Structure 1
Amino acid sequence: MHRISRLIIYPIKSLGGIELTSAKVTDRGLEHDRRWMLIDDDNRFLSQREYAQLALCQVSLEHDGLKVTYTPDESFITIPFKPLKQDTLEVTIWDDTCIGQLVSDEVDSWFTEKLRKGCRLIYMPDETHRQTDLRYTGEGMVTSFSDAYPLLLIGQSALDDLNTRLEEPLPMNRFRPNIVFTGGSPYSEDLMNHIQINNLNFYGVKLCARCIMTTIDQQTLAKGKEPLKTLAKYRRKDNKILFGQNIALTDTGVIHVGDELTVLSMHTDDRFIINTNPAI
């Protein structure tokens, strides 16, 4: 049996995550997940790939908004759920361009000071619909400011297996999943096609290619070669290192830690099979 063990959201792209016991599923992912994003002077998104110090900004949910704490000096700022500004602009995230809404001048100044980098915080309004890649998902499936898809699913057994191959085990936060489940064999998520959680339908659409963000310690910012060095030995396909599966969705509702994850169908396409066919 597969069962949800962790639910995690990352309200501001590339900043710290928040663990939940239950989460509302919206049309573009878990509620609040990556609805905010920092952009540079060219209106392009900021990421830990270039600015590792983003990991030092930890986020928590408060009754009136998001509390962001800069851990080196424990200073913080509260970001309202609804932006104080009405200004919108086109922003770039990878190959996509979409409309974002500025939040507040005070927030922009705070992040600029802490990160020592000119930046602004934007919010994705409900009116913005960012289509997911039509090569892998259906028309009308949308996502927030995530890299490409609404959700990332990883089995705890996959991380456990990886850690047996490493000299020093790594925490799950290196991989930034939204849903973690227990049960099943390592990497069983690779082949999950149609799944249900609390009667809501989810669809595995593409294995997740991993980047250098996985090599950044989220507390110290220390960088190393792992886990990519080890994963490359047994999780490489078409010159990409794969870990976890990207998930699209069609339903809205609520899911909880402890909910059963039911696999209704499995992938048979070769692009979901790495080395051997992991059993579900």
Structure 2
Amino acid sequence: MAQLTSIHRFPVKSCRGESVGSAVVEPWGLAGDRRWMVVDDAGAGITAREVNRLVLVHPEITDGGLRITAPDLPALEVPTPDPARQVPVAIWSSTLTAAAAGAEADAWISKALGVAARLVHLDDPTRRPTSPAFSEPGDLVSFADGYPVLLTTEESLAALNDVVLASADTGRDPLPMTRFRPNVVVSGVEPWAEDDWRRIRIGDAVFRAVKGCARCVLTTIDPDSAVREKEPIRSLAKIRRWDGATWFGINLVPDTYDVTIRVGDEFEVLEAVAPGSGPLRPAP
């Protein structure tokens, strides 16, 4: 039986994630996922693409906000900011406002990263719509790159690792799924079958598969050391390259809200297109 094998949320964009046994599905993604972001003095989002050390910052959601840790720094408790303290922020083509975490959090994150930075919280996710090119009016997203939920499959990772290990110059370990920062991982399907999915069900939650996920240099950063290497982009370019990009995983938009998904839930494909029809756009 195809099933959900793991669930991941990333409290702060580009920082280390948490594996959880269950999660509530909200219109803008899994509860607690990417509701915080690090920004520069101008309010532009900072990601691990530019500052690799972000992957070493470990945030944990608490009842009152966040607890964040990083190498060689004491842990810091960050209370959920007052929503009245809004500041302008930008992430990719989105411009909106978010609540400022305050001077203590800003000083801590700046020291952890070695660059001037601030921490902000998206108190109201309805401020950010998804890209209209691959979604519908009213679709929303938190501080995730473009869409609310990212799905990957264990079988596709195994197929990719076959290429990675075969082309390795020296012995190396297979790439872990953490390189790809998915929210949900499923198993019991064929490798790359996700290219053809258009509507899926996980437990009681239904999602639209709206776009393949183009992968960037963030996947080449080891989440445990922040060291950058050539994989998996090198191997993806051999087997998963088109439209000038490399592809792994699919972006989902929830059609069912306020339900809980759990590890072990049944996974079902509700709608699919013929193999080879292309993973980038919904079926016409």
TM normalised by structure 2 equals 0.91
Deviation of 1:74 after TM superposition, in Å, equals: 5.2
Counterpart for residue 278 of structure 1:
none
Superposed, 1:184-199 pairs within 5 Å as 184-199=189-204
Q: Give secondary structure in 1 for the equivalent of 2:32.
A: coil
Q: Where does the alignment leave 5 or more consecutive residues of structure 1 unmatched?
A: 274-280
Give yes or no for contact 1:9–1:34 (8 Å, CA) kept in 2: yes
**Which of 214, 218, 224 is residue 219 of structure 1 equivalent to?**
224
Q: What's 1:122 paired with?
A: 120
The aligned counterpart of 2:278 is 271
Match of 1:35 in 2: 35
Which residue in 2 is equivalent to 1:25? 25
Give the distance between the partners of 1:177 and 1:200, measured in 2 at CA. Answer: 17
Task: Please say if residues 126 and 140 of structure 2, whose CA atoms lie closer than 8 Å, have aligned partners that are also in contact.
Answer: no
TM-score, length of structure 1 as denominator length: 0.93
CA apart distance, 1:85: 6.3
**CA distance 1:119–1:85, shift in 2 (3 Å):** farther
Offset from partner CA, 1:32-61 (integer Å, 9 cap, x none):
100000100111000000000001101223
Look up the match of 1:57: 57
| SS of aligned partner of 2:234 | helix
What's the counterpart of residue 76 of structure 1? Answer: 75
Q: Distance in 1 between matches of 2:9 and 2:146?
A: 15
User: Which amino acid is 1:73 matched to?
Assistant: D
CA distance in 1 between partners of 2:27 and 2:279 (Å)? 25
Does 2:184 match 1:179? yes
SS in 1 for 2:119: strand
Q: Distance in 1 between matches of 2:34 and 2:159?
A: 29
> Unaligned stretches of 5+ in structure 2?
166-171
In the other structure, the counterpart of 2:169 is none
Q: Aligned runs of 1:54-203 on 2, under 5 Å?
A: 54-70=54-70, 72-73=71-72, 75-80=74-79, 82-84=80-82, 86-126=84-124, 128-167=126-165, 168=172, 169-203=174-208
| Residue-by-residue CA offset, 1:85-106 (whole Å, 9 max, x unaligned) | 6321221101111111112221
**Partner Cα separation in structure 2 for residue 212 and residue 77 of structure 1:** 29
| CA deviation string 1:154-197 (max 9, x = no partner) | 00111111111113311111100000011111111221111112
Q: In 1, Cα distance between the equivalents of 2:94 and 2:62?
A: 31
Distance 1:127 1:193, change over 3 A: closer
Q: 1:125 to 1:262 in 2, by over 3 A?
A: same
Instruction: Answer whether contact 1:103 1:121 (CA < 8 A) is retained.
Output: yes
State the 1:62 CA deviation: 3.0
RMSD (CA atoms): 1.5
Pairwise CA distance, 1:212: 0.4
Distance 1:133 1:201 in 2: 20
Query: For this pair of structures, how many residues does the alignment match?
Result: 271
Give the distance between the partners of 1:85 and 1:195, measured in 2 at CA. 35
CA contact (8 A) 1:85 1:101 kept: yes
C-alpha distance in 2 between matches for 1:86 and 1:129: 15
Residue 87 of structure 1 aligns to which amino acid in structure 2? R
Aligned to 1:250: 255
2:168 — aligned with what?
none
Q: Identical aligned pairs, as a percentage?
A: 37
